[in-house]
Amino acid sequence: MLPQRIHTVTEFHRLMGLHDPDHPLISLIDTGSLRRPGNKERESFVYDFYVVILKKNPRVKLKFGRLECDFDGGVLLFMAPDQLLTLESRESDPSKPTSGWLLLVHPDYLWGTSLAQAIKRYEFFDYAASEALFLSDKEEASLVGIFLNIQLEYRSGIDNYSQNIIIAQLELLLSYSGRFYHRQFITRKVPHHQILDRLEELLAARLQNEALPTVQSLADQLNISPNYLSSLLKVLTGQTAQQHIQEKIIDKAKEMLSTTDLSVNEIAYRLGFGYPQSFTRLFKLKTDVSPSEFRQAFR
């Protein structure tokens, strides 16, 4: 069955049995007030607006892109327009009622503001993100405070300052979320180091098989997004994904230059370069000497 597309914030309100929103382009909703349309065990939706979901103890399992969340603690999800969200019913403990918030922001609200383009650079809106943001009680309280400030502002009446104040609150929300994601990279070391270990295996295999690795190809094999991979590596190694890949290429090239009689051109091709000049240029950029000059030191 095709997913149901929801075009506007008002349409979402009506579908969920709520009164029309106080503002047509932005709305904060207490999830306890939502009424799911129909009685289907599984439903899918596509939204034409940004959705930030802060959820606890849901009566449904959420599946978004590569994420599948079935959780009891506080968790934050970010959706950009045109992304698919699937809801699956599950048994719920009545002692743990559903609680949380939905923040809906239509792209039209961002026109002419600092967030109009900048919001696309926040990697946690990436459809291929590999995990949700898990929040401590203190972190959750900080974000709920921002949500309520946004709601208070759009309910207080529109004036010349309203949009600027709300945009500032949205930027604060995204900045805090970026900080909390960075914390999560550090505190969830075991799964993240497992990703790094797997990355090393993939890099070694590609270089062995004469296939030049790219950030996109490695991210695809790891089932995460390129932006997420770069952010993770930045925290764990201090390098972006591209820098990490290039370092491994250069290390392999040094090994081949110092231990084999292969020509520079042959080494370039074996590393997956289509043109030896590209290999030579990268090697000199990273080492300050050409491949031939590097090899001479071992003769």
Per-residue pLDDT tens digits for 109-144: 999 898 988 887 787 776 444 456 778 888 888 999
- Extents of the domains making up the chain: 4-187, 193-296
The reported pLDDT for the residue numbered 202 is 87
Q: In sequence order, what DSSP letters do the residues of 253-276 get, joined into one string?
A: HHHHHHH----HHHHHHHTT-SSH
Distance between CA atoms of residues 4 and 96, nearest Å:
29
What digits encode the pLDDT tens for the residues 166-211?
A: 999 999 999 998 888 777 766 555 455 677 778 888 888 888 877 7
Q: Does 2.60.120.280 match the CATH number of domain 4-187?
A: yes
pTM of the predicted model, to two decimals?
0.62
61 bridge partner residues: 88
Q: Which residues have C-beta within 8 Å of that of residue 206, sequence separation ≥ 6? A: 212, 213, 217, 218, 272
Residues 85 and 47: beta-carbon distance below 8 Å? yes
Gap between the Cα atoms of 257 and 280, Å rounded: 12
Please tell me the distance from the alpha carbon of residue 87 to that of residue 250, in angstroms, as a whole number. 46
* CATH code of the domain made up of 193-296: 1.10.10.60
Residues of the chain with pLDDT under 50: 66, 70-71, 93-95, 127-130, 190
Asked if 130 and 181 count as a contact pair (C-beta separation under 8 A), the reply is no
Q: Measuring CA to CA, which residue among 133, 139, 148 is closest to residue 76?
A: 133
